[in-house]
Structure 1
């Protein structure tokens, strides 16, 4: 018995073939080729139907629709949306302990000596909070949704450009922080259509011990949460109890669709609303 060729497997993945189809094996090459042609034709028909539906019904990629859905939910829950620059200074990254020796430094897209495309949203949110904590009453709740950039390792679960949702709540009672993370994290995951997820304690390169939200039997990380007071607060002269959660929106879509390919859901010239265009 022989499996699909590597080229056939790649093409079937692009066309979102189900796992059951990808695991098939065949008596010989003629049987495999016949099955491949029939399956590809069927998948292409399905993808063309999805594109037609997108043109006449949705008209906005699912990533955009998810951004709007989560923003509406969070504002209704008392979070204020903020928008910060995509270009970030080296000085702000240093406040997050990211210097030339930090593992993340090699993943940053530097534009010039002291400017880069932001690899995360947190430094700019810290910057805003310095003023907002002075002006607003507690609790202070803010969030941002926007693109981030990293020279990620190649693979179906990574991309150099991806969309993050970061939310922060300042003034959370210390004895309720973990419960609050689980409450807000569950609301976002459920709103994104993720059904099978769990919370796990892990170690992060930046925040140390964090609480990750992982989905599915493969344990796809869809979010990472931290709480304070935290040593990273000191450069900002912040000394309050807080929680923060960062979600990858493309990974939320991967989990909700049980997909193996993050590229289907991100900003792309090859896909539109999850459909491969070379069909």
Structure 2
């Protein structure tokens, strides 16, 4: 019989960001296991305290905030304009995205009342801003938003109820350039974050259908392009591209963390470190 960590020990190691190899160890005896757990826990606590000390003395800002600023700088240098839109949106705006009562995403929405909810995505607001900017600016129109989204996701190492999205979009570009532009923008974001050796894979989105995903171990970003059937509901007729990334997932992969919660908005973690150490 193989002896492994107890569920409580494994949970503690996961909270302390132990590696997958550390969490999957086997032991010759219970005494050997418990002794090894004390050693591993002590090492991880020391590492966590060191990181918190670096945060206080050097960084002064969590990685999520630093990454957001780095992305803003990189995108604005490439001609993108940042927008800031409301986190409360209407049921009718979601319906324009095809998220009606029967849609798989509908049950994940945090509803405030019968007509308003916390946005599960940035796209409805960006469509709205597009529509007005088409009257005011020459094409192409390149805008982006970094903001909080909310979904009743299943809890696990990859999901958060409250997460930070980056969506960057270009409206009014030549249709034949769309795929190349998506690859270019994926590279811009991934280079800014500092993640290499990622893959681009075709997959299926619950809203846009066929989509080009950015993948390294897990899905980090997903893209879409138009013209698309949804465009008619917003009065959009020009070709466009858009690509979105979850910032907490980007940090999880870059920092080789064991769960996405450690880099999210939390009372239990600070900059990837469990506070009950």
TM-score, normalisation: structure 2:
0.98
1:238-277 aligned at under 5 Å gives the runs 238-277=236-275
Distance of 2:258 and 2:134 partners within structure 1 = 41
Deviation at 1:154, TM superposition (A): 1.5
Q: 2:230 aligns with which of 229, 232, 252?
A: 232
Indicate yes or no: 2:79 matched with 1:78. Answer: yes
- 1:157 and 1:260 in contact (8 A); partners too: no
Partner of 2:142, secondary structure, is: strand
Which residues in structure 2 correspond to 1:1-279 (within 5 Å)?
1-216=2-217, 220-279=218-277
Tell me the matched-pair count.
276
CA drift of 1:18 comes to: 2.1
Contact kept? 2:148, 2:164, Cα under 8 Å: yes
Please report how far the alpha carbon of residue 243 of structure 1 lies from its aligned counterpart in structure 2 after TM superposition: 0.4
Instruction: Measure the CA separation in 2 of the matches of 1:48 and 1:260.
Output: 18
Contact 2:18 2:258 in 1 (8 A): no
Contact 1:142 1:169 in 2 (8 A): yes
Give yes or no for contact 1:141–1:170 (8 Å, CA) kept in 2: yes
Q: What is the CA distance between 1:103 and its match in structure 2? A: 1.0
Equivalent pair of 1:82/1:143 in contact (CA under 8 Å): yes
Gapped regions of structure 1 (runs ≥ 5): none
Q: In 1, Cα distance between the equivalents of 2:23 and 2:163?
A: 27
RMSD after superposition = 0.9
**TM-score normalised by structure 1 residue count:** 0.97
Instruction: Map Cα deviations across residues 218-253 of structure 1 (whole Å, 9 max, x no partner).
Output: xx0010000011111001111111100011000111
Post-superposition offset of 1:22: 2.0
1:195–1:256: 8 Å Cα contact kept in structure 2? no
Q: What is the CA-CA distance between 1:135 and the residue it aligns to?
A: 0.9
